[in-house]
Amino acid sequence: MEKLRKFSFIIATLCIVGALAGKLYRPEWYKYANVAIGVGVFFFLLSLYFERHELKSFFGARSTKYGLNSVVMVILVLAIIAVVNWIVQRHPLKWDTTKNKQFSLSSLTVNTVKNLKQPVKLTAFFTESPLQGEPDAAERRVRAQDLLNNYRANSKNLEITLVDPLKNRLLTEQMGVTSNGTTVVESGKQKTTVSTLEEEDLTNAILRVTSNKETNLYFVQGHGEPSISDTDTNGYSSLADQLKKNNYNIKELKDLAATAKIPDDCNTLVVASTKVPLQDHEIKAIKDYLAAGGRVIVLDDPQGDQSVTKIYEDYKVKADDDFVIDDHQFFFLADPTVPEILPKENTPVTKEFNFRLFLPLARSFTYTQGEGGDINYTPFLESSGTSWGETDKKVAKFDEGVDKKGPLTVGLLITKSVTGDKKRSAETRLVLFGDMNFLQNAFINFGAHKEIFQNCVAWLTEQENLIHLPPKNAHNEIMAVGSNQVTLIGIAIVLVMPVIVLAAGISVWMRRKKL
């Protein structure tokens, strides 16, 4: 019995510590760990029984009572810290102090993932090991994990897995992944991949796998318009590639003159300014398509043929015979004929869109809200207040009473209700741009040009949840400090702070001396 008394506490400690280690490092041994904990608890209670007289005298001492008060306070503080830590882990709070909210999801993305009606699985393949030609692979994995955690925090319907393709080659092959940095997005039978680490691409991939809707864009061709297959500077191939990347079906409408009919599967028709005039029966076909609730984008241009203006003349909009000049805010590699264009806030296509655009030799539009009856106008692109609409094609100089003073509308949304049995939709939607050059390969990447066009397509096809935001660029936030400021900081650290501490010490010493 004496040996049992001596070793019972040691046995209890070994059993409990061993059980906890087993649960931590060998989860599959949990049954044995539970038995060990039970044995440990038994021997611990047995040791308390053997030492009951010593414990009674110990806890009866005055010094023990004071000591227990301190122990209880320490345990209480630790318990409070543990509860706070648990709450923070379950509901983490973050503050993004970067200027462009680089580490935060846009409200559009947050709303998208919060409103998911079905489970979506994201499997991201990012390695921790440096790769040939990709020395920052580990850093990319960290950024991917942060981004995916932001998504996970906003939706219970998102299942997110981060996989190292070098350590899990079997799953990598099964998922058909061939390059590091690929994210596979799945929902039901739908599946797509994302090869970038951009919020826009990831959110649109989620939307693609949760939607069965197919969107067809037709570009009118055959009149000298920019071609979607042309890879030269004047072509639209970069725009077409971006649209295909976002799951749009891009088609050319080359036989409008012969058929005088817009295809039945056309969700959006794009008409760019032409070199050869559109024929009357082609214009009528487009007008009839619009009147039946069709959706059209007109890329007008003051240098192109003016026949495209007939498409929207029934909607009480006038194409001004000018081009926008701004000698204060313009593209730094060009001249005042390539003005900086400002998106208006809170329109259907510019929510959270505070990025610049540059429209070379754009024309402005004139309309009167309410004059068109049941026609509604929403300007979404405007030039600055320092711009004007130049009507003299030879001399770029503002003439009071002749030229219109800015801001000028160069981007306009038009809607009109539709009635009748043969309507395509309940509402006509029309988008007007005062320029066609900004989407050409030469200009498309100098501003958020692709994004504003895709937002217009999403609005036309009533898929406003398909967001297109320019990627957030990482900026190094630098605080410029001058020589005078450096001197003041040095004086404060080396002189002022020590003097304050010394003065406080002297004050305390003098007070104690007087006591």
Q: What is the pLDDT of residues 330-350, one digit of tens each?
A: 765 567 888 888 889 889 998
Strand 375-383 and strand 388-390: pairing?
unpaired
In this prediction, residues 315-340 reach a mean pLDDT of: 84
Query: Rg (Cα) of the chain, in Å, rounded?
Result: 35
In this prediction, residues 120-128 reach a mean pLDDT of: 93
What average pLDDT is seen over the chain? 84
Task: Name which of 108-112, 281-285, 344-348 the model is least confident about.
Answer: 108-112
Cis, bond preceding 336 (omega within 30 deg of 0): no
Which residue carries 């935001």 as its tokens? Answer: 469
- Give the per-residue pLDDT at 397: 87
In this prediction, residues 60-79 reach a mean pLDDT of: 71
In this prediction, residues 203-211 reach a mean pLDDT of: 84
Q: DSSP letter string over 282-335? A: HHHHHHHHHHTT-EEEEE--TTS-GGGGGGSGGGT-EE-S-EEE-SSSB-TTS-
- Give the per-residue pLDDT at 267: 95
Separation of alpha carbons 169 and 108, rounded Å: 35
Sign of the C-alpha dihedral, residues 231, 234, 235, 238?
positive
Please report which confidence band the pLDDT of residue 505 belongs to, taking 50, 70 and 90 as the band edges.
confident
Separation of alpha carbons 356 and 342, rounded Å: 6
Contact between 248 and 240 (Cβ < 8 Å): no
Contact between 339 and 326 (Cβ < 8 Å): yes
SS3 405: strand
Task: Name which of 156-165, 360-369, 393-402 the model is least confident about.
Answer: 393-402
Q: What is the pLDDT of residues 16-67, one digit of tens each?
A: 888 888 766 666 676 788 888 888 888 888 887 777 777 677 666 666 666 6
Q: Please give the backbone phi and psi of residue 59, each rounded to the nearest 5 degrees, phi first.
A: -75, -15
Separation of alpha carbons 255 and 459, rounded Å: 27
SS3 237: helix
Percent of the chain beyond pLDDT 90?
40
Which residue carries 């102090």 as its tokens? Answer: 97
- Is the pLDDT at 458 greater than 50? The verdict is yes
Q: What is the pLDDT of residues 381-411, one digit of tens each?
A: 999 999 999 998 888 888 888 999 989 999 9
Separation of alpha carbons 284 and 290, rounded Å: 10
How many Cβ atoms sit within 10 Å of the Cβ of residue 42? 14
In this prediction, residues 163-170 reach a mean pLDDT of: 91
Contact between 348 and 427 (Cβ < 8 Å): no
End-to-end CA distance of the chain: 62
- Give the per-residue pLDDT at 65: 63
In this prediction, residues 346-373 reach a mean pLDDT of: 84
Q: Please give the backbone phi and psi of residue 306, each rounded to the nearest 5 degrees, phi first.
A: -85, 5
Strand 323-325 and strand 375-383: pairing?
unpaired
Please report which confidence band the pLDDT of residue 476 belongs to, taking 50, 70 and 90 as the band edges.
very low
